A and B are shown apart, each in its own frame.
Chain A
Amino acid sequence: MAGDEQQTTQATPGGESLTVTGGPVDRRAPTEPGGTYDGGRVSTEDLATADVTDGVLYKVRDLEVYFPIHQSFFKSMVATEKKYVKAVDRVSLDIKQGEILAVVGESGCGKTTIGRTLLRLEEATGGHILYKELPVERFTQRTLREYRKKAQIIFQDPYNSINPKQTIFDIVAEPLEVSGLVSGEHEKEERVVKAISEAGLRPATEYLYRYPHELSGGQRQRVCIAGATVLDPDMIVADEPVASLDVSIRNDILKLMVDQKETLGVTYLFITHDLSLAWVISDRIAVMYLGRIVEIGDTEEVVSNPKHPYTKALISVIPVPDPLAKREHVILQGETPNPVDIPSGCRFHPRCPEAIDACREIEPTDVHIGGDHYAACIRLT
């Protein structure tokens, strides 16, 4: 049933012909939903009874997020097809329960869009996101409200993402109030104090009635994390959570994420442009280029044994604090192309140092390297 829908939804935007990307069956095959879900709209009961059976919290299958481009009236009359920014273009991946999955890529590669679409802050134009086997795109408004108690997001800039006129207590308590999860003031306070001290602001009572301007950047980011964990979520999308922080504070926040993964069992989708940070804390890494995952696998494996030329280049240019480490820098020329006109064949071929003629024609499929490691490059087949 879910398989039928997949076929129809995929062909809609732009009416373009569908090239079925191959690859390993287990990463793409839609699976049967569990619990009470019967295939229609997902009700709150379905969500309440759904459970993780095979250790995979999210199954993303051929996800497409296209944003239409507004053209002038004349152009829209003349143009043969409507144009789209293909922010995420047929992405499939699994997010296992209790892991930190890092999505790495340059700006504009679609990594943030994936994170936002997981929470349905962006609507997918094609494909599926299965949360505990339930299709997120078929959630009713009421289900969505329940769902968002389970999936939270932390933003990049802790200076702008919290209300300066609220106390720390109010900021962290707000999600509890909105979701109606607590019955009384006493319970609310208990949970807020717990979340704040779990986020590393100890003793929590010292911070409750302070305002954001009294805190440093790192402390503010901890408040944001407390605001996310207070609902006891399964999943936190962390969108560049340390990009605006100083080095010494940055590491504390990363450590906090790892601790919370271990103690609270939270699954993290860690979105970053910095592969070296992903390497430090994540269990698996997905490297994205122009809306597509080009390589995915265990962190150690991807970094020590990168297979895709893009991953190799990214790793080669990471600066390291050692002036004598003589390394070959593979500096890609030019910039990421516009996601409106995606190059034919392999979308990376115009910048690829290892491209061959066939790369212009053939769209690469995932090649299994070993274990959990896949890379999409025709030269690997």
Chain B
Amino acid sequence: MSATATSAAAKTTERIEHEGLLEVRDLCTYFKLSQGWVHAVEDVSFSVSRGESLGLAGESGCGKTTAALSVLKLLPENGRIVSGEILFDGRNLTKRTEYGMSKIRWKEISMIFQGAMNALNPVQETGKQIAEPIMLHEGVSESKALDRARELFELVGINPKRVMEYPHQLSGGMRQRAMIAMALACNPKLIIGDEPTTALDVMVQAQILELIQRLRTELDLSFILISHDLSVMAETCDKGVIMYAGKIVESGSAEHLFRNPQHPYTRQLIKSFPNIHEKREMVSSIQGDPPNLLEPPPGCRFAPRCDERVADCAAVDPARIEVEPGHFVSCHLFKEAT
């Protein structure tokens, strides 16, 4: 697309009709390497409504973080959204310029990054880091913004007196709370949490997840949780998307995914998490490695590791099939179901 076309599109105020608050349609994001293009995210579609929480799950390297970064257009230099549309609150984000995106980032969509320990600036007071986006987006003075930072600290359960402390003076759990406060700074409609509890202790993880749930209901927020931990997703999300090697293999409500998983990958992935409320048994693992996304295999990407594969699997890409209302599976085992 040409430069003039993009700027014209950004200026149009016309509202696009789409599903939910955020709708991602057939997103393809590739990374350019010297050896070629890595097909990190391919034909990914999902949507989140107001106040809803969506989980994006899968093994590392499955493209879940790339999909989320594409929404904010925060991809690294070599990353490109090749096709697809990202529709947010009546606007098409894929057509927005960098300037147009800067008005959306943090003001309307914010993100809690992985590893809060390292995401905060160690040489600036925590409160000032939270105040920065407030000053930028709302044009208020620093003291007003710091007042707001104090309110936010209160909201996330840190003593507001600690607003001028440096990150190293806060514990790991508190830093994660400060990150959440920062994500809430400009009252966004959607928050993306990229592994927000991964490096934390179980008890602190439980505290943070409870906090996120409380804030979601209080502030009517939409939330996208990116996690490799299916059990965390089961506890916090209304619906979920399971990704494998850049593609969605199964999506549906949390109940669909965990009580009635259909795709062999989802079933195996769930089995690899221990459930202490059931009989004790050795957790199973999925044999083999994910495919090289520089040259993804032609058929189903999970076929080489799948123990239920049929003749078509290695050759034909499976279609998305609705096995029950709202529950989609991309697998050849469900061909007849249509």
Q: Which A residues form the contact surface with B (CB < 8 A)? A: 106-107, 216, 246-252, 254-255, 258, 273-277, 279-281, 299-300, 303, 313-315, 317-325, 327, 329, 331-333, 335
Contacts and interface: CB of A to CB of B under 8 A. Distances in A.
A279 B203 CA distance: 17
A361 B205 CA distance: 31
A314 B285 contact: no
A280 B283 CA distance: 7
Contacts of B277: 320, 322, 325, 327
Nearest to B61: A246
A303 B279 CA distance: 11
A279 B280 contact: yes
Contacts of B206: 317, 329, 331
Given A324-B255, A331-B206, A280 B232 contact: no
Q: What 5 A-B pairs have minimum CB-CB distances, sorted nearest first?
A: A319-B231, A317-B206, A251-B285, A323-B254, A106-B201
A276 B274 contact: yes
Contacts of A329: 206, 210
Contacts of B172: 107
Contact of A317 (B202, B254, B258): B202
B213 to A, nearest CB: 11
A246 B60 contact: yes
A280 B273 CA distance: 10
29 contacts: A106-B203, A247-B59, A247-B230, A247-B269, A248-B272, A248-B285, A251-B283, A251-B284, A251-B285, A254-B283, A255-B285, A258-B282, A276-B273, A276-B274, A280-B283, A299-B280, A303-B276, A314-B202, A318-B231, A318-B276, A319-B205, A319-B209, A320-B231, A320-B275, A322-B258, A323-B235, A327-B277, A333-B207, A335-B173
Interface string B264-308: 000001101111110010111110010000000000000000000
A246 B275 contact: no
B322 interface: no
Given A322-B259, A323-B235, A323-B258, A248 B59 contact: yes
Contacts of B284: 251
Contacts of B173: 335
B154 to A, nearest CB: 15
B35 interface: no
Nearest to A300: B280
Nearest to B157: A333
B196 to A, nearest CB: 13
B255 to A, nearest CB: 6
A107 B202 CA distance: 10
B215 to A, nearest CB: 15
Nearest to B288: A248
